[in-house]
Amino acid sequence: TTTAASHHPARNATRDSAFIKACRREPVPHTPVWFMRQAGRSLPEYLKVREGIAMLDSCMMPELVTEITLQPVRRHKVDAAIYFSDIVVPLKAIGIDLDIKPGVGPVVAEPIRTRADLARLRDLTPEDVPYVTEAIGMLTAELGATPLIGFAGAPFTLASYLVEGGPSRSHERTKAMMYGDPQLWADLVDRLAEITGAFLKVQIEAGASAVQLFDSWVGALAPADYRRSVLPASAKVFDAVAPYDVPRIHFGVGTGELLGLMGEAGADVVGVDWRVPLDEAARRVGPGKALQGNLDPAVLFAPTPAVEAKTREVLDAAAGLEGHVFNLGHGVMPSMDPDALTRLVGYVHEQTAR
């Protein structure tokens, strides 16, 4: 069904692509492939254009964003592009003082820890991110029939950076708030859901064909805590974009025990890391959803025959799925050989051609 909200000429042009069809669990000419963190990272052409430009500054330069987003599509022939940005961009856009430190990640000057701090998380409007609308307009014109994936960080993962003040292994202050002041926590993730929903809408209105919600660090939680303290906020994000009828992908690392709940939150496609085989993941997620994944990224450091053998295992486990989007179980690493990624795309296409 086509609703007024779902109609966009750029999106219309990508309707028959393998990626969109796999997300919708329709028959495909070959299994579509893209890589989380495919833009940036190891590509020499990326390092060249980024020279002397800070990460967050680069995210606000539409021409540069367009070039970086297109680089992996040109080079690897992946089936989808992912918008070059970062999960903290919408927070920066509403005035949170933060930076991305090379080799470290996002660092927040004044962490959010009290009820009074919540007032700093104001609503996001399209006027806060004009460079996103501009870049996506330029990008979709260049991409034609290749879909553009928009994305955002999920409330839990964003909350972790905001509460800890930076990257964390144990998420101790975040969990202390979640367990110790459940009402403050609920209000915090609800605010973040509003901001995230608004940010994804901007990307869809500009022409993105699908969206991925990254809850990268939510694997740190037990299912009961996920259901009580995270699922309502993530569901609110998915509900906000539901009227557009674009495929919604939901991904986290170490989320084997949460896959069913992450689907329940409102995803059309559930991303799986390398720890759970896709046939088992399908049993955990249940019918009516496509899966995305799940080659161990570290396999790319092995010789080509080993990469192909491990890829074959992923494809075999995916054989009975309703829909499969091939991806790594997590992001591309900076030290990876770009040629190994290009070969992998070709191998999946060739092995799955029907």
Binding-site residues, in ranges, read 37-41, 86, 161, 216, 330
User: Among residue numbers 194 through 233, which ones bind ligand CP3 (CB under 6 A)?
Assistant: 214, 216
Q: Catalytic residue among 86, 128, 215, 268, which? A: 86
Binds ligand CP3 (CB under 6 A): choice among 40, 147, 247, 297: 40
Q: How far is the CB of 317 from ligand CP3 (least distance, A)?
A: 22
Annotation says 228 is catalytic: no
- Looking at 32-40, 123-131, 180-188, 196-204, which segment touches ligand CP3 (CB under 6 A)? 32-40
Asked whether position 331 contacts ligand CP3 by CB under 6 A, the answer is: yes
Asked if 84 and 69 count as a contact pair (C-beta separation under 8 A), the reply is yes
Q: Which is nearer to ligand CP3, 27 or 102 (CB)?
A: 102
Q: How far is the CB of 85 from ligand CP3 (least distance, A)?
A: 6
Asked if 161 and 111 count as a contact pair (C-beta separation under 8 A), the reply is no
Annotation says 113 is catalytic: no
Annotation says 283 is catalytic: no
Annotation says 131 is catalytic: no
Asked if 75 and 42 count as a contact pair (C-beta separation under 8 A), the reply is no
Please, where are the H alpha helices in the chain? 9-12, 18-23, 44-50, 55-59, 62-76, 89-93, 130-143, 155-164, 172-180, 182-206, 223-229, 231-241, 259-264, 278-285, 304-317, 338-352
* Residues in contact with 229: Cβ distance below 8 Å, sequence separation at least 6, in sequence order: 178, 182, 185, 186, 189, 221
* Residues in contact with 275: Cβ distance below 8 Å, sequence separation at least 6, in sequence order: 254, 256, 329
14 three-class SS: coil
Asked if 36 and 328 count as a contact pair (C-beta separation under 8 A), the reply is yes
Give dist(CA 133, CA 144) in Å, integer: 17
Annotation says 97 is catalytic: no
Give dist(CA 246, CA 11) in Å, integer: 9
User: Among residue numbers 95 through 114, which ones bind ligand CP3 (CB under 6 A)?
Assistant: 100, 102-106
Binds ligand CP3 (CB under 6 A): choice among 10, 28, 39, 300: 39
Asked if 190 and 121 count as a contact pair (C-beta separation under 8 A), the reply is no
Binding-site string for ligand CP3 from residue 112 to residue 151, where x marks contact by CB under 6 A and - marks none: ---------------------------------------x
- Looking at 31-39, 179-187, 199-207, 295-303, which segment touches ligand CP3 (CB under 6 A)? 31-39
Q: Catalytic residue among 46, 83, 131, 161, which? A: 161
Asked whether position 273 contacts ligand CP3 by CB under 6 A, the answer is: no
Site size toward ligand CP3 (CB under 6 A) is 20
Q: Which residues define the annotated binding site for substrate?
A: 37-41, 86, 161, 216, 330
Q: Which is nearer to ligand CP3, 25 or 215 (CB)?
A: 215
Residue 315 structure tokens = 């494809």
In DSSP terms, 251 is beta-bridged to: 214
Residue showing tokens 């987003």:
69
Q: Which is nearer to ligand CP3, 106 or 197 (CB)?
A: 106
Give dist(CA 35, CA 261) in Å, integer: 24
User: Among residue numbers 78 through 97, which ones bind ligand CP3 (CB under 6 A)?
Assistant: 82, 84-87
- Looking at 38-46, 131-139, 268-276, 315-323, which segment touches ligand CP3 (CB under 6 A)? 38-46
Query: Which of the residues are catalytic?
Result: 37, 41, 50, 86, 161
**Contacts with ligand CP3, residue ranges (CB under 6 A):** 37-40, 55, 82, 84-87, 100, 102-106, 151, 214, 216, 331
